Chain A
Amino acid sequence: MEYAIQIEKLSKKFDDFTAVSSIDLNIEKGEIFGLLGPNGAGKTTIIKMLATLLQPTSGFAAVWHHNILKDPAAVRRSIGIVFQDPSLDTELTGRENLDFHARMYGLNKEERERRINEVLDLVELKDRADVFVKFYSGGMQRRLEIARGLMHYPQVLFLDEPTLGLDAQTRRRVWEYIKRLNKADSLGHWVCRSFFFCF
């Protein structure tokens, strides 16, 4: 199999309301995939099912060859995700949020320190790293979440409306970071294998 994501007849119902209706989709490895649709189309619901946060009502999906129903732990190990809604602990500093994340993914102390500094550099938050997240602006929080989604070397990175609610300038910068992730690849550094965007 050469697919990063395989979706077959995936559906999700909330009570009687069908949010996602029998989706079929294959995304190849290395592909940058964008999912477009109006508000309420079900994009976030699809991402949450792929990320094992929601149980599909019916159908099947595999992420990086791992069945989302049978082997959710392996799926979780393969992905990074930038949620549509806030998901930071605002009572911690930026660095502490990243450190918590790295610990949850089992990175050792050395690796944690190195990775935290790398991703902080990438999103240009190094000088604000030791400030509580509750004092971050919306754009800074977003950049921190992108940094966090990347730090454990995910095979597939999900970004759910990563530029939502950002001003034009910050939006442009977020796109620059994401482009830079691609450039890093040509320099021989590690890069995320697949992207799954939502807008």
Chain B
Amino acid sequence: MPLFFLLFLGMGFDAAFKFSNMPPGITYIAFLAPGIIGMVLLFNSITSGLSVIWDRQFGFLKEIMVTPVSRVSIVLGKTLGGMTTALLQGFFILLIAVGIGFKIKGVLGFLSSVLCMILIATSFVCLGLIFASLINDMQGFHLIVSLFTFPIFILSSALFPLERLPLWLKYLTYLNPLTYGVDGLRYSLIGMAHFSLTLDLFVLVGFCTFMIGLSTYFFRSVEVDY
């Protein structure tokens, strides 16, 4: 699915439009690739909360919650697991992008992009965990997840540059943490950014810490009633 996005959207828009404010030498597909990586991270991270719903349905969640392991550790454990799979998916897209001619700007850029990926994935795994701690059933979880992920994805500069958006829409994207994630990725990978990498990382680290704290808070009050 994300692959289709990258290939067809990328090539289609590349042929149909020339974004007037694209820096010279940057194709739409190069612009899009970091956005698609952001999208893949978002979707995979948030749905990893499903593992909690599974545990609950099979009764294994009670066994986890009754142990003296601190709730932070449970959250961090779940986060590391979810983050790893999301990260692998992100790398997979990056690999494909490189395969179709995407050029990464240097080793340092690659490293800071990995950092961005880790922060994006961790934050949204935590969001998934929060949903999973509030919702007991699979359908409800999917509903809430799709309700949240699409606006987060669309309002994140993953698909189009922020510069020419109407002001109100622009401010809306500024409120979206994924905007900073995609921006950080884009700067790391192709050297193009709306904000600065420092601001991106600052926001991402802040958001990530906040989300870990918040999901721990929610996990503390999880009741296992069946």
Binding site for B on A (CB under 8 A): 14, 48, 51-55, 73-74, 76-77, 79, 81, 83, 85-90, 101, 104-106, 148
Residues on B with C-beta less than 8 A from A48 are: 224-225
**Chain A residues within 8 Å of B68, by CB:** 73-74, 76-77, 104-106
Q: Which residues of A contact B224 (CB under 8 A)?
A: 48, 53-54
How many angstroms from the CA of A88 to the CA of B62 in the assembled complex?
A: 10
Is B169's CB within 8 Å of the partner chain A?
Answer: no
Q: How far is the CA of A98 from the CA of B67 in the complex (A)?
A: 13
Q: Is B150 an interface residue (CB 8 A)?
A: no
> What 1/0 mask marks residues of chain B from 39 to 73 whose CB sits below 8 Å from any chain A CB?
00000000000000000001110111111111000
Would A87 and B59 count as touching, CB distance under 8 A? yes
- Of B60, B65, B66, which is within 8 A of A89 by CB? B60
A81 and B58: CB pair below 8 A? no
B17 near A: Cβ within 8 Å?
no
B226 beta carbon closer than 8 Å to chain A: yes
Q: Looking across the interface, which residue of chain B has its beta carbon closest to that of A148?
A: B63
User: What count of chain B residues pass the 8 Å CB interface test?
Assistant: 17
CA distance A56 to B223 in the complex (A): 11
17 A-B pairs, CB-CB below 8 angstroms? Answer: A14-B225, A48-B224, A52-B66, A54-B223, A55-B221, A55-B223, A74-B68, A76-B67, A79-B66, A86-B58, A87-B60, A87-B63, A88-B60, A90-B58, A101-B63, A104-B64, A105-B68
Partner of B58, one of A53, A77, A89: A89
- Smallest beta-carbon distance A64→chain B, Å: 13
Which partner residue on chain A sits nearest B62 by CB separation? A87
Closest chain B residue to A14 by CB distance?
B225
Give chain A residues whose Cβ lies under 8 Å from the Cβ of B63: 83, 87-89, 101, 148
| Contact A83:B59 (CB < 8 A) given known A48-B225, A55-B221 | yes
Q: Please, how many angstroms separate the alpha-carbon atoms of A188 and B17 in the complex?
A: 83
Known: A73-B70, A88-B63; 13 extra A-B contacts, CB below 8 A, are A53-B223, A53-B225, A54-B223, A73-B68, A74-B68, A86-B58, A86-B59, A87-B62, A88-B59, A104-B69, A105-B68, A106-B68, A148-B63
- Chain B positions within 8 Å of A53 at CB level: 62, 65-66, 223-225
Complex-state Cα separation, A10 to B62, whole angstroms: 21
**CB–CB A101/B67 < 8 A:** yes
Residue from the set A89, A101, A106 with the largest chain B CB neighbour count within 10 Å: A89
Q: How far is the CB of B138 from chain A (nearest CB, A)?
A: 18
B90 to chain A, nearest CB (A): 26
CA of A198 to CA of B68, assembled, Å? 23
**Chain A residues within an 8 Å CB radius of B62:** 53, 83, 85, 87
Write out the residue numbers on chain B whose beta carbons fall within 8 Å of the beta carbon of A85. Answer: 59, 62, 226
Q: Which of B199-226 contact A (CB under 8 A)?
A: 221, 223-226
CA distance A82 to B162 in the complex (A): 56
In Å, the complex CA distance between A103 and B223 comes to: 23
List of A residues within 8 angstroms of B226 by Cβ:
85
By beta carbon, the residue of chain B nearest A79 is B66
Least distance between A107 CB and chain B CB atoms (Å): 12
What residues on A are CB-neighbors of B223 within 8 Å?
53-55
Which of B59, B65, B226 has most chain A Cβ within 10 Å? B59
The answer on a CB contact under 8 Å between B66 and A51 is yes
Cα distance A86–B58 in the bound complex, in angstroms? 7
Provide the residues of chain B in CB contact with A79, threshold 8 Å: 66
Inter-chain contacts of B70 with A (CB < 8 A) = 73
Determine the chain B residues whose CB is within 8 A of the CB of A89 once the complex forms: 58, 60, 63
> Are the CB atoms of A81 and B66 closer together than 8 Å?
yes
Q: List CB contacts (< 8 Å) of B168-226 with chain A.
A: 221, 223-226
